[in-house]
Each structure stands twice: as C-alpha cells, then as structure tokens.
Structure 1
Amino acid sequence: MTPAPNVLSGGMVKIADTDSSLVTAMVNLLLSMENLLVYYLTLFLRMFLLIIGCNLT
C-alpha cells in the first residue's frame, strides 16, 4: 500500500511541473511581446519627433 501515494504525488508533481513550465513560457511570450511593443512605440515616437523637428526648423 505504501507505493500508491508516492506514485500519485509523483503524477501530481509532473502535472504541476508541466503547468509551471507552460506558465513560464506564456509569461516569457508576454514579456517579449511587451518589449517589442515598447520598442516599436519608442521608434514611432522618435520618428514622430524627428518629423516635427524637421518641420519646425
């Protein structure tokens, strides 16, 4: 009877492990997307400011 709970807990740990890795993958994806968004926003802002600067002078 002793090995049964160990197997169960092992299965639970495996499930939790895959879940956590999935979550980390999702978080990494979100972070990379956020970084891209920020990069493009700053790029757009720079171009916008450059155009305004060129028009003012």
Structure 2
Amino acid sequence: MDVVVDLGMCQGYGNCVAAAPDFFDLDDSGQVLLLKGTAKTEAEQAAVRDAIPVCPMSAIRLGE
C-alpha cells in the first residue's frame, strides 16, 4: 500500500515520527519527510496505521 502525506496539511507535530520512525521524519523546517513511500508488509502497514490517527491534522493516509 502506498503511504500518502498531504504536505499542505502537515504542521510538524512529529507524532508520526514517534509512531512510525521507519516511514516519517521531520526536516529542519519541521515539515514531514516521507522516508518510505510504500508499506509492503503487514508490520509496515500496521506501523503506518498507528501513525494515521495520531496526526492531529489528518495529513496521513494509506492508498492503494
């Protein structure tokens, strides 16, 4: 599954980084960096699913 981040909505809270550090990081300006664009395994998909509800801006989703 593809990992999709709406950069226009991201406010740099960093909750996604705490939930799924293999997928997300923050750059120097506090904008999210998507480290992996695809969650291939069940464990990877679970990590991204854990990050989705902790984003206060709802900027993360899984696509097909």
- TM-score normalized by structure 2? 0.25
Q: Rg bigger for which structure?
A: 1
Larger strand proportion of the pair: 2
Which structure has more relative contact order (CA 8 Å, sep 6+)? It is 2
The normalised TM-score by structure 1 is: 0.28
> Which structure features the higher share of helix residues?
1
